[in-house]
């Protein structure tokens, strides 16, 4: 039990380099030689004579030259038009004046060139030159920018991230045109070499948080880091906490809004979502629609979402506790109706609830895996047919069907999938505690959840802010959303360098009608 407790309470924020992660030593590449054949042979051996490694020898200004590229990742038309055609038709000896490439690098070590070769660059070697050029010729394979499938908005922007890091950075740059927007580039994964970019506003983000994230990223020593979801588990503070400590979003406007509050975002090649750090519990219940509608409507919907958190966790447990221990808390007429429905069920309410909850989870998982037209049919047919059948057979009571349906709807209200999973997981221990101890078990579980939220941190910042620590000024954009001219200060939990926002001057000239 001591080992399990230590494992569950492990907080990796205490050290700059999380335990279990070793810092990678820098590699020293072999320097290029004047012999083209020796350089190419080194590249061949480094890539184990792969069949898609292509070579093209030619003479440029009466001197031998050789172009090396991977046909599987390069655009052959770009190689011909941007490199071979200008080189063969010019007498100039300097490739930098001949080749019209946007990204062209002069290198002296072969290892750096091999890494670029794997990312779609072509390597140009020249006779008796102890340097060579890496020219960007990657083939662009990407889908068009479309509306996010998991974060749809009624109003506002309808564009979302795709699997291209370059396009995603462009979408963020369009939202924020400030010169203070800084991009730090990384290559993650010993074997995958996935490109990543850490973006933040230099005049807003806390330098200590930025450096902490930078050190955690550089400290990762893993072969497979193909997407941001794998990186997330390496850098978050408490991996065994049921609550997510890093927000994932597919919306550029949501990333821009959080950057303007002093947070930091991580974008990766091959991932259509950004990781936002640090974050808090209430950020997961915010939606772009809150800011694209009037403050009264946005505040009402946000309070409804927060209320759905309590419903999704406690409603099945409350029903189990009432049916098992506390019939006296419901009116007598309702008592007789529930009692008559429950008496036909051959097992206790906890088994009834677990059976229905697991059935709902199976239907939800099936609807995700199947094609869209079929998944819609599965959801409707499964909900109606199975629900009616289990009641008729006497496996589940009518009140339990209502409770499970309301609980499922409440869990769907959460804008974040990560938080939705957390709510669905927390529901089960609360149900078990209610079946054993009634209302006392529910109170104990809610207290434990509250204490855990108060202790949890995200990159050194309080996760349950502005409740713990209590800061009333931050409530106006946490629990509710006041009008923009009332939001004079940025949230304090990401520790922004500038707490006061620029638009507060509007407040002085505003007069509401009584």
Q: What do you get for the CA distance between the two ends of the chain, in Å? A: 62
Helix, coil or strand: residue 134 = strand
* pLDDT higher than threshold 60 for residue 475: yes
pLDDT attached to residue 17: 40
Each residue's pLDDT tens digit, 177-188: 999 999 999 999
* CA 222 to centroid of chain Cα atoms: 19
Q: Are 465 and 457 in contact (CB under 8 A)?
A: no
The model carries a pTM of: 0.84
Other CB atoms closer than 10 Å to residue 62's CB: what's the count? 7
Sheet holding 194-201, edge to edge: 181-188, 194-201, 264-268, 274-277, 247-249
Q: Is 124 exposed, middle or buried (0-12, 13-18, 19+ CB in 10 A)?
A: buried
How many whole angstroms separate alpha carbon 308 and alpha carbon 311? 5
- Name the residue with tokens 């850098």: 235
What residues contact 425, with CB distance under 8 A and at least 6 apart?
242
Domain boundaries, the chain: 36-136, 165-279, 295-461
Q: Mean pLDDT over residues 334-340, rounded?
A: 84
Each residue's pLDDT tens digit, 57-103: 998 878 899 999 999 999 999 999 999 999 988 888 888 888 987 78
Q: Mean pLDDT over residues 108-125, rounded?
A: 93
């Amino acid at each position: 039990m001591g080992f399990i407790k230590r494992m569950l309470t492990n907080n990796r924020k205490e050290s700059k380099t999380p335990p279990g992660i070793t810092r990678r030593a820098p590699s020293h590449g072999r320097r290029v030689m004047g012999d083209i054949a020796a350089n190419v042979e080194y590249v061949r051996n480094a890539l184990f004579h792969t069949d898609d490694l292509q070579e093209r020898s030619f003479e440029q200004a009466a001197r031998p030259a050789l172009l090396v590229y991977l046909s599987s990742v390069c655009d052959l038309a770009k190689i011909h038009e941007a490199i071979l055609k200008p080189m063969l038709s010019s007498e100039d000896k300097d490739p930098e004046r001949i080749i019209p490439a946007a990204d062209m690098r002069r290198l002296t070590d072969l290892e750096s060139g091999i890494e670029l070769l794997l990312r779609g660059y072509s390597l140009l070697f020249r006779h008796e030159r102890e340097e060579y050029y890496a020219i960007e010729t990657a083939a662009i394979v990407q889908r068009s920018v479309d509306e996010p499938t998991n974060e749809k908005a009624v109003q506002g922007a309808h564009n979302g991230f795709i699997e291209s890091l370059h396009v995603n950075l462009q979408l963020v740059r369009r939202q924020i045109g400030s010169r203070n927007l800084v991009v730090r580039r990384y290559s993650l994964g010993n074997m995958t070499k996935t490109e990543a970019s850490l973006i933040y506003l230099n005049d807003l983000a806390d330098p200590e948080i930025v450096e902490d994230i930078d050190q955690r990223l550089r400290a990762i020593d893993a072969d497979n880091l193909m997407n941001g979801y794998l990186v997330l588990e390496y850098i978050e503070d408490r991996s065994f906490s049921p609550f997510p400590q890093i927000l994932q979003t597919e919306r550029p406007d949501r990333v821009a809004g959080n950057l303007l509050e002093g947070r930091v975002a991580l974008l990766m090649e091959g991932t259509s979502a950004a990781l936002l750090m640090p974050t808090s519990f209430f950020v997961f219940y915010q939606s772009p629609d809150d800011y694209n509608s009037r403050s009264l409507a946005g505040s009402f919907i946000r309070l409804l979402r927060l209320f759905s958190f309590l419903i999704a966790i406690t409603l099945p447990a409350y029903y189990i506790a009432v049916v098992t221990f506390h019939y006296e808390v419901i009116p007598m007429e309702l008592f007789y109706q529930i009692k008559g429905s429950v008496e036909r069920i051959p097992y206790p309410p906890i088994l009834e609830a677990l059976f229905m909850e697991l059935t709902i989870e199976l239907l939800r998982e099936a609807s995700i895996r199947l094609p869209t037209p079929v998944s819609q049919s599965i959801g409707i047919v499964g909900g109606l047919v199975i629900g009616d059948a289990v009641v008729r057979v006497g496996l589940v009571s009518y009140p339990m069907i209502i409770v499970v349906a309301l609980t499922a709807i409440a869990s769907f209200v959460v804008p974040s999938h990560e938080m939705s999973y957390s709510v669905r997981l927390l529901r089960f221990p609360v149900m078990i505690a209610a079946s054993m101890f009634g209302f006392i078990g529910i109170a104990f579980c809610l207290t434990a959840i509250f204490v855990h939220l108060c202790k949890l941190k995200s990159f050194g910042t309080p996760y349950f802010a502005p409740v713990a620590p209590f800061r009333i000024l931050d409530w106006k954009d946490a629990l509710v959303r006041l009008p923009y001219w009332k939001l004079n200060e940025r949230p304090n939990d990401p520790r922004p360098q500038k707490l006061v926002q620029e638009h507060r001057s509007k407040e002085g000239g505003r007069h509401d009608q009584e």
